Amino acid sequence: MNSNADPYKTSNKHLAPRPGFVLDVDRTSPPILFHHGDQFKLEKLPAGRSRVIYPPEPLEGLADPEGAIRHALANPIGDSEPLAALLRPDMKLTIAFDDVSLPLPPMRRPDIRQRIIEAVLDLAAQAGVDDVHLIAALAIHRRMTEDELRHAVGDRVYDAFAPSGRLYNHDAEDPDGMVVLGETPHGEDVQFSRRAAESDLVVYVNINIVSMDGGHKSTATGLSGYTSLRHHHNVHTMRNSTSFMDQKNSALHASNWRMGEVIRDAGVKIFQIETTINNNTFGRTGPLSVLQKREWEWNAKDRASFIAMQKGLEVLPSKARRKIFSSWQAPYEMTSIQAGEVEAVHEITTANVFKQQSVAVEGQTDILTMGLPYICPYNVNSIMNPILVMCLGLGYFFNMYRGKPLVREGGVLIMSHPTPWEFHPVHHPSYIDFFEEVLADTTDPIEIERKYEKKYAEDEWYIHLYRNSYAYHGVHPFYMWYWGSHALQHLGRVIVVGGDPAAVQRMGFQSASTLQDALEMASDVVGPQATITHVKNPPIFMSDVT
């Protein structure tokens, strides 16, 4: 089902959302809001050589999400029968769903996953299916807590399935719970959840926040483990993905697609349900809505609320700020849902993601600036440690492009984030060791991969904590570092504004106290009149760079 033909879409209840926009900064341009962790800064960019890329305004959401879901399940796309036709009483049904890393920030209840899972379970019940398992497809992310699972699937589903052990987190290190289904022509092992592999049908419930999500990656990554992940979560793949947000130029996607074929050829039948959301991250009204507006359109109320928020945050301790922001749930609206055969579904999903997120940008820049927010996929209800800062800036924001990177090769990336030397000891134990041991030795991804990855990946304590506590897998910080390896290779310098100097130095970056300092430091690399591009992100967008 293409969302263009969506019968459940209503007329726009908001004014027509405007597309993304590139502002050339002149002397009359106001200071630009930079996210700075759980604080904000207003920065004046140099006139005449700076530009700001603004995300498109939020698209309208589907007026009747439940109706759209039922419609999608009954009208699949690609080579697939309607879901109801795939269900029978004696079957094994596994419903896998995206974990806590999506979306960012978490969405207000009811979560899309809840809506879809309830619809799928209704159909399963009607068909008399008894053997149903629900699995949070978290690969090697940390396990979701009960609260987080309840948020994702809803209390009704949680209470019906969790007590009997039929709703649980994927365990990629369970020796009895994982199987290897085969090998791709490239020699990549395809490891998979045994329960999913032995099911008659796997229904995957996805939320696409960026174009990297979904498709075969949902299952080939989400329900796999280190045995498979090491084949594409590595430096070579990352450096050969330009970008990994662009499926056609992503070695990461290519590997997942190869693995998807092996999974399919092994007889695993997957019914893929993908959804897209708009970028209504901070709301059209309310306390954070100013973050979604363009600065020159701020009215007096916006300015007052921003200044009050900024000053209020300044006097709070970091724990209190973190608590405030962790409690923010975005009023996202579902903009499309499509179900059926994986690749056909994903093609439409990706188009719908780009419909919301694409911004045409002409030419590359010498200096790319970005204000990093308080959250990334791996610190939900947690701490944004320095490695995650690196990953968000160099791994995610840098890669939010199609065509060419926004910044030219040899250019400078300036990120604004406090980058405290602080880790969540429960969620990120191996990160602490990675920071203390690995980065103290080298920041070169190739060297890191060669020298340390296996030891961390196979460390029994990390595996124990991943399986029994709420820790990311031992190898996860390596993947975060690799995520930024393309940017590391591409850039001439990385500067962090307002970061803890020791933490920034440990990562091989330079710290600057102000944006002005950072621009002066950058001039050593790109000259005094270098062009500057600022990505006003979040909400998330993708630059189509020509």
Partner 1 sequence: MKALQFKRNLPRYAAARIAGSFTPGRGGTVGPLRLTNLEAPEMPGPDWVQVRPRLSGICGSDLATIDGRSARYFEPLVSFPFVPGHEVVGDLTDGTRVVLEPVLGCVSRNLDPTCPSCAAGHLGNCQHTTFGNLEPGIQTGSCHDTGGGWATAFAAHPSQLHPVADALSDEEAVMIEPTACGVHAALKAQGAATIAVLGAGTLGLVTIAALRAQNPELTILATARYPHQRRLAAELGADHVVAPQEIRRAARRHTGSRAISRSTDDGAVDRLSGGVDAVVDCVGSSESITDGLAITRPGGRIVLVGMPSQVSLELTPLWHREIQLIGAYTYGTETAADGTPVRTFDLAADLVSTADLGQLVSAVYPLNRYQDALEHAAGAGRRGAVKIAFDLRSEKERDQL
What is the binding site for partner 1 (CB under 8 A)?
A: 424-427, 429, 432-433, 436-437, 440, 455, 459-461, 464, 469, 471
With respect to partner 1, which residue has the nearer C-beta, 314 or 436? 436
For residue 447, the minimal CB distance to partner 1 (Å) is 16
Can you say how many angstroms the Cα of residue 124 is from the centroid of all Cα atoms in its chain? 30
With respect to partner 1, which residue has the nearer C-beta, 140 or 412? 140
Token pair in block for residue 199: 């099911």
Token pair in block for residue 224: 């796999």
For residue 153, the minimal CB distance to partner 1 (Å) is 24
For residue 135, the minimal CB distance to partner 1 (Å) is 24
Token pair in block for residue 266: 């092994």
Closest by CA to 69, choosing from 125, 103, 112, is 112
Q: What span, in angstroms and rounded, lies between the C-alpha atoms of 199 and 268?
A: 7
DSSP secondary structure code for residue 473 in this structure = P
Torsion angle, alpha carbons of 225, 231, 236, 237, to 10: -80
For residue 464, the minimal CB distance to partner 1 (Å) is 6
For residue 383, the minimal CB distance to partner 1 (Å) is 11
For residue 322, the minimal CB distance to partner 1 (Å) is 16
Q: How far is CA 214 from CA 89, 98, 238, 367, 543, in A?
A: 29, 9, 18, 31, 20
With respect to partner 1, which residue has the nearer C-beta, 8 or 470? 470
Axis crossing angle, helix 445-457 with helix 476-483, rounded to the nearest 10: 160
Q: What span, in angstroms and rounded, lies between the C-alpha atoms of 249 and 243?
A: 6
Residues forming beta bridges with residue 403, ordered by sequence position? 545
With respect to partner 1, which residue has the nearer C-beta, 361 or 471? 471
For residue 456, the minimal CB distance to partner 1 (Å) is 9
Other CB atoms within 10 A of residue 181 CB = 21
Q: By the 8 A CB rule, do 230 and 172 touch?
A: no
With respect to partner 1, which residue has the nearer C-beta, 402 or 476? 476
Closest by CA to 105, choosing from 380, 293, 314, 317, is 380
For residue 138, the minimal CB distance to partner 1 (Å) is 19
Other CB atoms within 10 A of residue 246 CB = 21
For residue 148, the minimal CB distance to partner 1 (Å) is 16
With respect to partner 1, which residue has the nearer C-beta, 213 or 433? 433
For residue 484, the minimal CB distance to partner 1 (Å) is 23
With respect to partner 1, which residue has the nearer C-beta, 42 or 440? 440
With respect to partner 1, which residue has the nearer C-beta, 417 or 428? 428
With respect to partner 1, which residue has the nearer C-beta, 355 or 455? 455
Q: What span, in angstroms and rounded, lies between the C-alpha atoms of 480 and 453?
A: 12
Q: What is the 3-state secondary structure (H, E, C) of 425-469?
A: CCCCHHHHHHHHHHHHHCCCHHHHHHHHHHHHHCCHHHHHHHHHC
Task: Please report how many Cα atoms fall inside a 13 Å half-sphere around the Cα of residue 371, on the Cβ side.
Answer: 24
Torsion angle, alpha carbons of 274, 471, 183, 254, to 10: 50
With respect to partner 1, which residue has the nearer C-beta, 130 or 458? 458
Token pair in block for residue 435: 């920071």
DSSP secondary structure code for residue 373 in this structure = B
With respect to partner 1, which residue has the nearer C-beta, 61 or 386? 386
Q: Is 37 helix (H, G, I), strand (E, B) or coil?
A: strand
For residue 452, the minimal CB distance to partner 1 (Å) is 10
Q: By the 8 A CB rule, do 61 and 331 touch?
A: no
With respect to partner 1, which residue has the nearer C-beta, 265 or 436? 436
Q: Is 147 helix (H, G, I), strand (E, B) or coil?
A: helix
Q: Containing H/E element for 160?
A: helix 155-161
Please work out, in degrees rounded to the nearest 5, the angle formed at the alpha carbon of residue 390 by the alpha carbons of 410 and 546: 45
For residue 387, the minimal CB distance to partner 1 (Å) is 15
Q: What span, in angstroms and rounded, lies between the C-alpha atoms of 288 and 285?
A: 8
For residue 147, the minimal CB distance to partner 1 (Å) is 14
With respect to partner 1, which residue has the nearer C-beta, 295 or 459? 459
